[in-house]
Chains A and B, each alone.
Chain A
């Protein structure tokens, strides 16, 4: 059997909307320190660092450099990875390859974002520049607009309703209200979501995640070390990645982010199918995104995502519990940190430590979990399947 790559340490700061007296290097330190403690390793055991972010929110150029110094990791190799909101799962992909190649034994993957220094309109102005800058950004097309276009098309093709969109937020708020590391702890009703102000119709404020500050850390190790230091290493069983066109005009479909391609790769590599997944974290930057994720990941057929949430299939006790830590919608979305946070949640669930999020968030006996992390509006998709 070929050498496996294990996750042996996870850490995450609280995600928050309140501007704290904390610099980004200090945020990264908190996540790294927690993961290192979780891994039972000493600082000198880490032989490579990957720092994941989207640099446009920072004043610091080349943030990987000061972070490596602050964590005490210079002069070890350090890599910067920037892939929009999927940066930290891409960092895990890069780390997986660095270890698999034999170049490294233990790699720390840090993801962070500090977004509260900017106003919402300033953040949106930076986000729209991630689209087709020449032909589409001049129309003011941002993330909520594109996901609203997906939602309208989904409603048109499959009869998905605004209430079904709202039900995603209701579910995620039920679990997010219990997660001490989540930025949005309020439990909401369908009515409250429906009455929140329209951002880009049909999406309302509570159909959208919000920018936040936070950091996450995942420590990867080669099999021999993972088995030695951990009683419960969590193995990377499948890892898939795909991209979509930058411009919306060049898309073939408006009812998917295209992440089904990454999912197919990951399922094939892991040798499992959607019915084997016991718990999943999906990229719910908007409520419609979670509905499309159910379909793209094969949890239900294309077009049946609305029914899947309405019938409670993504709650604990349903077919596949999804985002039972609150998801991006309730945890908040510090873009470079999000994928690492998703991996932390699934790692804890598979170790039988879901109670660390909250006892009511634990999926008992979970053996195989899935992480789905999307950058932009599908510009990049990563799907990672983890197992005990």
Chain B
């Protein structure tokens, strides 16, 4: 099995240069990448900088996971392949480090969700050596 297939409930991207991200997930850690040339920070990680487009290389940086809820939706239907996961809360959270991230928000009731609330992005094991990241309330 190609290592990046270990990310997600359903995965369509077996081959990537940021496959090392999986190593972090196995240790319960989340890493982004920072452009050596211009300093732009990316999460999820990218192997190339789309800002300066210079190809000076990227450095791996662990993120805190601390975030604030920007927006969300509560899904009551599942596209094919997600029948076992539904219902789920899809959230956009802004990381302390800057980028917005899409992930499920777990461990919270509908009534408790408030845009602007403090949340944390953490690693979740969803099967045998299979991972995803999720937001949980902080």
Contacts and interface: CB of A to CB of B under 8 A. Distances in A.
Nearest to A127: B79
A20 interface: no
B64 interface: no
B11 A138 contact: yes
Nearest to A138: B8
Interface stretch (A9-17, A141-149, A363-371): A141-149
B71 A156 contact: yes
A249 interface: yes
Question: How big is the A interface, by class?
Answer: 35 or more
B79 A124 contact: yes
A135 B47 CA distance: 14
B99 to A, nearest CB: 6
A202 B73 CA distance: 7
B92 A248 contact: yes
Interface residues of B, number: 36
B6 to A, nearest CB: 11
Interface in B88-103: 88, 90, 92, 99-103
B101 A145 contact: no
Interface string B19-46: 0000000000000000000000000100
Contacts of A146: 73
B92 A140 contact: no
B79 A139 contact: no
A202 B89 CA distance: 12
B117 to A, nearest CB: 11
Contacts of B92: 149, 248-249, 254
A197 interface: yes
Contacts of A133: 12-13
Interface of B: 7-13, 16, 44, 70-82, 85-86, 88, 90, 92, 99-104, 110, 115, 132
Given A140-B82, A152-B115, 15 more contacts: A122-B80, A127-B79, A134-B12, A139-B102, A140-B86, A144-B75, A144-B77, A148-B75, A149-B92, A156-B115, A198-B76, A200-B73, A200-B75, A200-B77, A249-B102
